[in-house]
Amino acid sequence: MITKQFSPSLMTMDLDKFKEQITFLNNHVDSYHIDIMDGHYVPNITLSPWFIEQVKKISDVPISTHLMVTNPTQWVDQLIEIGSEYICIHAEVMNGIAYRLINKVHDAGLKFGVVLNPETKIDVITPYIDLVDKITIMTVDPGFAGEKFIDSTLDKIRHLRDLRYTNNFNYLIEMDGSSNKDTFYKIQKANPDIYILGRSGLFGLDENIEKAWNTMLQDFNDTKQHI
C-alpha cells in the first residue's frame, strides 16, 4: 500500500523566505515539485536548473522537476547532472523521443515521469507506460498558478489505478493543480498517491509556513474523515 505523499510546488513559495520555508518543509514533505517553463510550451517562464541547485544546498528531500518545455532534450542532460531525482516530461512533446529520454534518465540512476494535460488521453502513453516511474495528471490547464480545477481529469486518476492493479505496473500517480480545501474531497475519492500543493493549498494559507502547513494538514484530514 502506498502512503499518501505531499509535494509542495516551489513556484508558489515566498522567495523572500526561501531558506526559512525550505528548512521547515524538509521535515514534513515527501518531495519538492519544481516547474521549469520555457515561455513556448506554456506562456510563462518559471524557475530553472539553477534554482534546483539552490534547493539542494539546504535540502535532501527528493526533487521532482516538471518540464513544461517544447524541447525537453535540451534540458535533460543538465537535470541529470544536477541530480533531480525525478525528471517529468509532457507526453505531448515526447513523440519520437520517448524511449530515448526514458532510457537516458534511467541509465543515470534517476526516475522518469510523464505528464498528461487535461485533454490528453492515457492511450497516448500506452506504448511505454510500463517503463515510467510516475504519471502526473494535470487537473488544471498548465502554465499558471490559480487555474480552475477540471473535475473530469479525476477519471484518469481512477483509470490509472485500475491499470496499475490489473497489469502490476509500478508507477506512482500524481495530481497537479488546485489541490486545496475546496477540492480535497473529490481528489481524495479519486485517490492519487501524490498531492502537489501550491498557493491555494499551502503557501497562501498563512505567511508563517508552519501555520500554513498545519492548516493544510487539518483541511486534508478533516476532508478525509468524510470519505
| pLDDT tens-digit series, residues 166-191 | 999 999 999 999 999 999 999 999 99
* 126-131 LR contacts (CB < 8 Å, sep 24+): 127/98, 128/98, 128/99, 128/102, 129/163, 129/169, 129/171, 130/167, 130/169, 131/99, 131/102, 131/106
Burial code (b: 16+ CB inside 10 Å, e: under 16) for 65-86 equals bbbbbeebeebbeebbebebbb
What's the pLDDT score for residue 87? 98
Active site (annotated) includes residue 176: yes
Q: Which residues contact 6 (CB under 8 A, 6 or more apart)?
A: 28, 29, 30, 194, 195, 197
pLDDT at 142: 84
Q: Which of 77, 107, 151, 176 is catalytic?
A: 176
Q: Record the cell numbers describing residue 23, joined without a space.
A: 528548512
pLDDT at 144 over 70: no
Straight-line distance from the first to the last Cα atom of the chain, in angstroms, rounded to the nearest whole number: 18
The 10 Å Cβ neighbour count of residue 178 is: 21
Q: What's the full length of the chain, in residues?
A: 227
Residue 1 has pLDDT above 80, yes or no: no
pLDDT at residue 39 in the model: 87
As a whole number of angstroms, the distance between CA 213 and CA 25 comes to 8
Average pLDDT, stretch 211-226? 92
Looking at the chain, the whole-number percentage of residues with pLDDT higher than 70 is: 96
User: 24 pLDDT exceeds 80?
Assistant: yes
Among 30, 35, 123, 206, which one carries the catalytic annotation?
Answer: 35
Checking if the pLDDT of 159 tops 70, the result is yes
Q: What is the pLDDT of residue 224?
A: 78
Which fold is adopted by the domain 5-224?
TIM Barrel (3.20.20)
Residue-level pLDDT at 143: 65
Grid coordinates of 95: 513523440
